Amino acid sequence: MNVCVVGTGYVGLVSGVCFSDIGNKVTCIDLDQEKIDKLKQGIIPIYEPGLSDLVLKNINENRLSFSTDLTEGLKDADVVFIAVGTPPKENGEADLQYVEAVAKSIGEHLDSYKVIVTKSTVPVGTGKRVKEIIASVSGHTNFDIASNPEFLREGSAIYDTMNMERAVIGVESEKAGEVLTELHKPFNTNIVLTDVETAEMIKYASNAFLATKISFINEVANVCELVGADVTKVAEGMGFDNRIGKAFLQAGIGYGGSCFPKDTSALVQIAGKAGYDFKIVRNVEEVNQNQRFKIIDKLEAVFNNDLSGRKIAVLGLAFKPNTDDMRDAPSIDLVPLLQEKGADVFAFDPVAAENARKVIPGLNAVENLQKAVNNADAVVILTDWPEFKEMDLVQLKETINQPIIIDGRNMFEPETMKELGYYYSSIGRPLVDGRE
């Protein structure tokens, strides 16, 4: 099929390249000239494992092209995906200005039947709004609208798309359902065929449920600390129950990123507008926001509430490993707070430092792990990058000023840390102190 993807960010680029890799002819459109120029040369503007090779392969095999000109993408397209951002407004609602702008441009250039699919995460009712805009601007109704929300995870986006667990396809017409089912056939996945509104809701319900799981286990962790239980064992014991499952039960300093924070607030807004108070999700957000500050409490507990002049090594700035995405990362709140409390912060992240500098004023991000930990009074782990897991803990102890680790991601075993002579405070597990 001929596919046009409008919006070449994380989602648009990954979807576009995967649709091309399974044999479609894909044109990815973006307003950002610099981004498109780079992509044409095979230079990838984001950090995503495996993406670069796949983009180059499909450019070379003439299935993938990039343009800033929407007419180029629309020409001959059977399916048009809208994959632009839907960032949160001040009140938590999803901002639909980019989706609406794309709908208007599609309307201006629509000349033959196409299935126009919203892939962006959008509130229930947006598909209808897109339809109204396109129909009123184009003056005809020779098109179908559909919803096909995206579930990929940054960091494993290619794998997630190529091995998608389900494709949710919300349509108003049988024809659109057939076209999109056909398009997804090579992925050999479960197709959930439904109406547009239900598809839109599935995305928010899924993300809010996963966020709930994280906040739930974080609250369990907080209780574990008070009563002397170990949350990792609690999660293991829970996870063997198929009704619960093992995933998303890792206690820590909570979620961040471009999706969970904004999608939970958007769901609260969607429900509120419909006259319903979505209490659970409201509390999930509150628990998550508070959870990140546990790091500060734990650090202050070791230093008698005085962090002034302490050299603190912060390991990890991105909201999760394998990404340079800094959107709503806990580090955005925590690094400035540490600095406000007088700490001398030396931060290291394998890939997110450049993006982090844009959102954390006064950030002192150093170029390697060694520089961050040298003579540190304490090491604080905010992101569970695999290379932190592989640190030589014996050597680390020689390098740092005091063997104190505050671990917001539960990367190490408390007993081992104790044997190695560390003061080690993690989330929902026994505090150990192996210092002499």
* Binding flag, residue 92, ligand NAD (CB under 6 A): no
Residues placed in the known binding site: 30, 35, 86, 121, 151-154, 203, 248-252, 256, 262, 320, 327
The distance of closest approach from Cβ of residue 396 to ligand NAD in the complex, given in angstroms and rounded to an integer, is 32
Half-sphere exposure of 316 (CA within 13 A, CB side): 26
Positions in 309-338 near ligand NAD (CB under 6 A): none
* Binding flag, residue 29, ligand NAD (CB under 6 A): yes
Indicate the residue among 152 and 404 with the shorter CB distance to ligand NAD. Answer: 152
The distance of closest approach from Cβ of residue 266 to ligand NAD in the complex, given in angstroms and rounded to an integer, is 9
Candidates 54-62, 149-157, 209-217, 236-244: pick the segment binding ligand NAD (CB under 6 A). 149-157
Q: Which residue is nearest to ligand NAD (CB)?
A: 9
Cβ atoms of 14 and 152 closer than 8 Å: yes
Positions in 151-180 near ligand NAD (CB under 6 A): 152, 154
Q: 60-95 burial string, b = 16+ CB within 10 Å, else e? A: eeebbbbbbebebbbeebbbbbbbbbbebeeebbbe
* Binding flag, residue 205, ligand NAD (CB under 6 A): no
Given 21, 93, 144, 150, the residue binding ligand NAD (CB under 6 A):
150
The 8-class DSSP code of residue 93 comes to P
Binding mask 62-91 for ligand NAD (x = CB under 6 A): ---------------------xxxx-----
User: Residue 162, SS3?
Assistant: helix
Given 1, 44, 56, 101, the residue binding ligand NAD (CB under 6 A):
101
Candidates 3-11, 210-218, 289-297, 306-314: pick the segment binding ligand NAD (CB under 6 A). 3-11
Active site residue 259: yes
* Binding flag, residue 30, ligand NAD (CB under 6 A): yes
The distance of closest approach from Cβ of residue 169 to ligand NAD in the complex, given in angstroms and rounded to an integer, is 15
* Beta strands 64-67 and 114-118, pairing class: unpaired
Q: 318-352 burial string, b = 16+ CB within 10 Å, else e? A: bbbbbbbbbbbbbbbbbbebbbebebbbbbbbbbb
Dig out the tokens for 220 from the structure: 């369990």
The 8-class DSSP code of residue 426 comes to -
User: Residue 235, SS3?
Assistant: helix
Given 3, 4, 5, 6, the residue binding ligand NAD (CB under 6 A):
6
The distance of closest approach from Cβ of residue 129 to ligand NAD in the complex, given in angstroms and rounded to an integer, is 15
Catalytic annotation, pick one of 4, 28, 224, 259: 259
Indicate the residue among 84 and 400 with the shorter CB distance to ligand NAD. Answer: 84
Positions in 262-301 near ligand NAD (CB under 6 A): none
Indicate the residue among 84 and 315 with the shorter CB distance to ligand NAD. Answer: 84
* Binding flag, residue 121, ligand NAD (CB under 6 A): yes
Cβ atoms of 324 and 358 closer than 8 Å: no
Residues placed in the known binding site for substrate: 151-154, 203, 248-252, 256, 320
Given 232, 258, 269, 410, the residue binding ligand NAD (CB under 6 A):
258
Given 3, 4, 10, 114, the residue binding ligand NAD (CB under 6 A):
10
Cβ atoms of 281 and 275 closer than 8 Å: no
DSSP 381-397: E-S--HHHHT--HHHHH
Residue whose C-alpha is closest to residue 9's, from 108, 112, 81: 81
Number of residues that bind ligand NAD (CB under 6 A): 26
Given 120, 147, 291, 410, the residue binding ligand NAD (CB under 6 A):
120
Q: Which one-letter amino acid corresponds to residue 97?
A: Q
The distance of closest approach from Cβ of residue 181 to ligand NAD in the complex, given in angstroms and rounded to an integer, is 21
Indicate the residue among 50 and 336 with the shorter CB distance to ligand NAD. Answer: 50
Whole-angstrom Cα distance, residue 79 to residue 376?
A: 55
Whole-angstrom Cα distance, residue 81 to residue 88?
A: 21
Enumerate residues 6+ apart whose C-beta is below 8 A from 243.
Answer: none
Provide the 10 A C-beta neighbour count for residue 170.
Answer: 27
* Binding flag, residue 7, ligand NAD (CB under 6 A): yes
Give burial (CB, 10 Å; 0-12/13-18/19+) of 434. middle
Residue 26, strand partner residues? 3, 64
For the chain, give the number of residues.
436
Candidates 4-12, 163-171, 194-202, 359-367: pick the segment binding ligand NAD (CB under 6 A). 4-12
Q: Which residues bind ligand NAD (CB under 6 A)?
A: 6-12, 29-32, 35, 83-86, 98, 101-102, 120-121, 150, 152, 154, 258-259
Q: Tell me the catalytic residues.
A: 259
